[in-house]
């Protein structure tokens, strides 16, 4: 089809359309963010078992345990988003069996179910990973995120400063939700668990975004050294996309969790 900006004299591949690029960038950003989240947690697991210093082992074990429900819950839910977009990019060809996209979409669905459904992972995040220690582990992670924000800002580049802005807004929303969960799990359990899955999605989004921010910092350093510039620039661009298009969802999730429980539980059972 013809590009909307008239950049081609006739019809061309659909990659020229901004919305197709948006879908492909979304798929790329979710994949890279979730992959980075899993990798950093795996490294923490190794350190928790093999580092010579006992305190370092303990810190890494705590970090790893907090990340587990996020990796399982957030990554598998995002696999549905990624494979759905893969079908959408191909249109009707994606829906039928010719491209294979539909098979990936169907297969991804089971990932949110087995080895603990998304709701079970969210229950773990609320109960054992947040309310049990009064949100201390979660807030300690927020401090680490804040340090990354400072490092981003210090570089002064447009991409890093934009990432720092989005990361800060997401972090503050996360801390608000942690306070809500830690402060209300016992007193108002229905209010907290009405937002348990959104809390998992919010946390997974932030933590994956944090890893994308760290990747951005490394990529900028490598570009300055002339190392694999095209690859590193793509990392920077993908991180910026994550910041502007995915991290920006976090404050809205905060509002639905903290303020939205009443509408979840208001209807009588026979209304469903």
Neighbours of 72 (CB within 10 A): 22
For residue 162 the two structure tokens come to: 């934009």
For residue 128, give Cα distances in angstroms to 54, 65, 84, 93, 134.
22, 9, 32, 45, 10
For residue 200 the two structure tokens come to: 């998992």
**Burial (CB count within 10 angstroms: exposed 0-12, middle 13-18, buried 19+), residue 197:** buried
Q: Tell me how far apart the alpha carbons of residues 126 and 134 are, in angstroms, rounded to a whole number.
A: 10
Inter-axis angle of helices 250-259 and 196-224, nearest 10: 160
**Side-chain-side CA neighbours of residue 4 (13 Å):** 7
For residue 248 the two structure tokens come to: 């920006």
- Of the candidates 77, 64, 92, the one whose C-alpha atom is nearest the C-alpha of residue 30 is 77
Positions annotated as catalytic residues are 115
Q: How far is CA 155 from the centre of its chain?
A: 24
- Name, in order, each residue with C-beta under 8 angstroms of 228's C-beta and a sequence gap of 6 or more: 222
| Coil, helix or strand at residue 115 | coil
Q: To 5 degrees, how large is the angle CA 127–CA 133–CA 137? A: 100
């Amino acid at each position: 089809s013809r590009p909307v900006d008239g950049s081609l004299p006739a019809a061309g591949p659909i990659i020229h359309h901004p919305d197709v690029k948006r879908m492909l960038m979304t798929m790329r950003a979710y994949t890279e963010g979730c992959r980075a989240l899993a990798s950093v947690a795996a490294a923490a697991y190794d350190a928790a078992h093999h580092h010579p210093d006992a305190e370092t082992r303990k810190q890494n074990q705590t970090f790893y345990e907090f990340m587990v429900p996020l990796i399982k819950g957030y990554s598998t839910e995002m696999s549905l988003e990624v494979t759905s977009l893969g079908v959408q990019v191909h249109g009707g060809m994606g829906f039928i069996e010719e491209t294979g996209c539909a098979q990936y979409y169907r297969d991804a669905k089971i990932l949110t179910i087995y080895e603990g459904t998304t709701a079970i992972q969210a229950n773990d995040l609320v109960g054992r990973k947040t309310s049990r220690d009064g949100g201390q582990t979660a807030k300690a992670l927020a401090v680490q995120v804040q340090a990354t924000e400072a490092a981003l800002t210090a570089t002064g580049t447009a991409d890093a400063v934009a990432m720092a802005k989005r990361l800060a807004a997401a972090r503050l929303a996360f801390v608000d939700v942690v306070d809500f969960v830690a402060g209300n799990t016992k007193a108002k359990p229905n209010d907290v668990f009405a937002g348990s899955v959104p809390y998992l999605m919010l946390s997974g989004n932030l933590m994956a975004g944090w890893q994308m921010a760290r990747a951005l910092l490394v990529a900028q350093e490598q570009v300055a050294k002339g190392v694999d510039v095209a690859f590193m620039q793509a990392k920077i661009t993908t991180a910026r996309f994550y910041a502007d298009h995915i991290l920006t969802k976090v404050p809205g999730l905060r509002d639905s969790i903290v303020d939205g429980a009443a509408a979840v539980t208001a209807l009588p059972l026979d209304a469903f």
